[in-house]
Chains A and B, each alone.
Chain A
Amino acid sequence: EPEVTQTPSHQVTQMGQEVILRCVPISNHLYFYWYRQILGQKVEFLVSFYNNEISEKSEIFDDQFSVERPDGSNFTLKIRSTKLEDSAMYFCASSPRRDRGNQPQHFGDGTRLSIL
């Protein structure tokens, strides 16, 4: 069964450094998402992406965050200048074209981001 893959599985970065989290969504999916889960807290929506542009973003997704689909397969989340509070598990998800909102989202196993 096709999977969403995320790399790296664990990223350790110094505060203030830039970090790029990578995702390869399922190949025939057209809607892409990033979520994060701070330890012990809820999974929170960051951003949705469709047709090469951001569809919706949450209040968490400030100017320090950006997303990109640089080619036909990768979907990246960049944090420009990391803060301690960015430490979390970041999940990428994708869903197919049909019937938006009424399709399950397929999640990767996440990237654990630790900011020192």
Chain B
Amino acid sequence: SQQGEEDPQALSIQEGENATMNCSYKTSINNLQWYRQNSGRGLVHLILIRSNEREKHSGRLRVTLDTSKKSSSLLITASRAADTASYFCATVYDRGSTLGRLYFGRGTQLTVWP
């Protein structure tokens, strides 16, 4: 499968703690993106990291990419109850014919307790 796979499937932490989610994929990518989905809502783009980048920050989010291991991680620092959601990694593969088709993993359900 070309799709990314996240782990863990579920993560439960207290407010203020950091949350780390991992994603692995199978083939060469153009970029990897992380999305959040609140229950019953659409996917919200969080961060995009290109294949030639190793780390990217956005506010409390930190994403790393290791193309040699075909893996990425999403770190949410100082988590809040409002961060409770499902988090998905999605890959865009390195094929010139696609217009950014996203391949999603199954997601990590993050629960942050107040």
A101, B43: Cβ atoms under 8 Å? no
Q: Does A68 contact B (CB under 8 A)?
A: no
Main SS class of interface, A: strand
Contacts of A82 in B (CB 8 A): none
| A-B contact number at CB 8 A | 73
Q: Does A75 contact B (CB under 8 A)?
A: no
Q: Looking at chain A, what size class is its interface with the partner chain?
A: 20 to 34
A102, B50: Cβ atoms under 8 Å? yes
Q: How many residues of B contact A (CB 8 A)?
A: 27
A101, B42: Cβ atoms under 8 Å? no
Q: Does B60 contact A (CB under 8 A)?
A: no
Q: Does B78 contact A (CB under 8 A)?
A: no
Which A-chain residue is minimally distant from B107 (CB atoms)? A42
Contacts of B106 in A (CB 8 A): 41-42
Choose from B50, B100, B105 the contact partner of A31 (Cβ within 8 Å): B100
Contacts of A100 in B (CB 8 A): 99-100
A107, B44: Cβ atoms under 8 Å? yes
Contacts of B90 in A (CB 8 A): 43
Contacts of B105 in A (CB 8 A): 42
Q: Does A65 contact B (CB under 8 A)?
A: no
B48, A104: Cβ atoms under 8 Å? yes
